[in-house]
């Protein structure tokens, strides 16, 4: 689901944006079922309120798929429309932005038991060729300064390049993520319901089982890395039900080559407003999960010493494809993004196990709305 943290507008005085008019604006666009068209839908959709490109993965220094993971990485680019609905995609002039671009990046170092993370924010006038931050419309190519995510190749053989560095956070990476299997269209052919109201939905596709190679730098040390990654791209006008305070989500590359997605949108009392997800066995069709067919049961919790938010870092999830257990490989994977998206959330490398305790996959667990309710 992406994925993903709330796109709140922080109260930063330099980040003045056009106000939404109370009357006379064009009606907001609606997400309705349609066939996704590639490569166009790899690109940005600035007419919609929120959008993200989200890449995560497990890395190791040995080029051996049987070796245990040593690092996890996350890179997410967010786009938020802040102008009036119906505003043209390209606003006239550099100082009339109708879009904001954000980026979050993180590295989980399992050896050092440490999470490093960084964030960026920029105004964008909607021009795909703008500098220093822009998002292309025809394909995935989004950047904020020296942070980049771009796609190349035919749609069936995508190759993504992720590049970034942050001296203050002490990490940098340059990674290539190569498709090994077809796109996975979430929901009904890419139309993913997020609540009981049909307008609470997104267009959503996933590229699981991406083969990763590249370099990772931590401090002064630079090393080659290999692994598997997961990429989500999602865009929406209305995502959260009014009763939802946040969500819990997993995107897992299964060891047998399959892919598992599961999410729930959660009320303040922990009950589910909505749930969904999918399972794709190797070489098989996607199995879409009905909202009533999933159940998330929280297990062991970790309390952040920085925010006092309490997160379940173990879950048992009952799905139509079977019951699985998810456990964080490092408890302390909380990200404080109040300087950009305005949210605090937990996002971390995790292991998937069968009920007997055998590892069956690696991926990322995301939990939002535990430090404070999300407001999209």
pTM to 2 decimals? 0.90
Is 42 in a helix, a strand, or coil?
helix
b/e map of 32-60 (b: 16 or more CB within 10 Å)? eeeebeebebbbbbbbbbbbbbbbbbbbb
pLDDT for the residue numbered 84: 59
pLDDT for the residue numbered 3: 42
Domain residue ranges in the chain:
40-368
Give the model confidence (pLDDT) of 262-305 as tens digits: 999 999 999 999 999 999 999 999 999 999 999 999 999 999 99
Homologous superfamily of the 40-368 domain (CATH): AttH-like domain (2.40.370.10)
- Where the chain has pLDDT below 70, the residues are 1-26, 83-97, 376
Element (H, E) at 172: strand 171-178
In whole angstroms, what is the distance from residue 235 CA to residue 376 CA? 13
pLDDT for the residue numbered 95: 53
pLDDT for the residue numbered 224: 97
47 backbone dihedrals φ, ψ, rounded to 5°: -75, -20
pLDDT for the residue numbered 342: 79
In whole angstroms, what is the distance from residue 282 CA to residue 258 CA? 5
Give the model confidence (pLDDT) of 17-30 as tens digits: 333 333 345 677 88
**Comparing C-alpha atoms, which of 220, 210, 148, 154 is closest to residue 178?**
210
Q: Please give the full DSSP string across 173-197, using - where no structure is assigned.
A: EEEEEE--S--EE-TBTTEEE-SSS
Give the model confidence (pLDDT) of 150-189 as tens digits: 999 999 999 999 999 999 999 999 999 999 999 999 999 9
The two tokens of residue 236 are 């929406």
pLDDT for the residue numbered 88: 47
pLDDT for the residue numbered 12: 35
Is 291 in a helix, a strand, or coil?
helix
């Amino acid at each position: 689901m992406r994925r993903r943290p709330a796109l709140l507008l922080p109260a930063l005085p330099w980040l003045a944006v056009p106000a939404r008019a109370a009357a006379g604006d064009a009606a907001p666009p609606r997400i309705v079922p349609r066939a996704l068209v590639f490569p166009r839908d790899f690109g940005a959709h600035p007419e919609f309120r929120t959008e993200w490109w989200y890449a995560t993965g497990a890395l190791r220094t040995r080029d051996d798929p049987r070796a245990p993971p040593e690092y996890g990485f996350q890179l997410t680019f967010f786009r938020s429309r802040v102008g009036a609905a119906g505003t043209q995609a390209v606003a006239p002039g550099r100082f009339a932005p109708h879009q904001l671009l954000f980026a979050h990046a993180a590295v989980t170092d399992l050896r050092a038991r440490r999470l490093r993370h960084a964030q960026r924010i920029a105004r964008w006038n909607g021009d795909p060729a703008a500098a220093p931050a822009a998002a292309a419309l025809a394909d995935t190519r989004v950047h904020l300064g020296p942070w980049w995510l771009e796609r190349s190749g035919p749609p069936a053989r995508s190759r993504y390049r992720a590049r970034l560095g942050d001296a203050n956070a002490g990490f940098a990476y340059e990674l290539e993520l190569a498709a090994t299997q077809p796109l996975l269209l979430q929901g009904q052919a890419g139309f993913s319901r997020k609540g009981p109201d049909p307008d609470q939905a997104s267009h959503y596709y996933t590229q699981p089982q991406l083969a990763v190679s590249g370099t990772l730098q931590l401090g002064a040390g630079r090393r080659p890395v290999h692994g598997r990654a997961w990429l989500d791209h999602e865009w929406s006008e209305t995502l959260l039900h009014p009763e939802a305070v946040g969500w819990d989500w997993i995107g897992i590359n299964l060891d047998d080559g399959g892919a598992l997605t599961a999410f729930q949108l959660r009320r303040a009392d922990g009950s589910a407003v909505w749930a969904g997800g999918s399972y794709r066995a190797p070489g098989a069709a996607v199995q879409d999960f009905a909202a009533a067919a999933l159940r998330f049961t929280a297990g062991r919790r970790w309390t952040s010493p920085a925010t006092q938010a309490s997160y379940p870092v173990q879950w048992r999830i009952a799905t139509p494809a079977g019951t699985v257990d998810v456990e964080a490989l490092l408890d302390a994977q909380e990200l404080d993004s109040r300087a950009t998206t305005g949210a605090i959330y937990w996002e971390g490398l995790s292991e998937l196990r069968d009920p007997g305790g055998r590892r069956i996959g690696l991926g990322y667990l995301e939990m939002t709305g535990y430090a404070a309710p999300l407001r999209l």
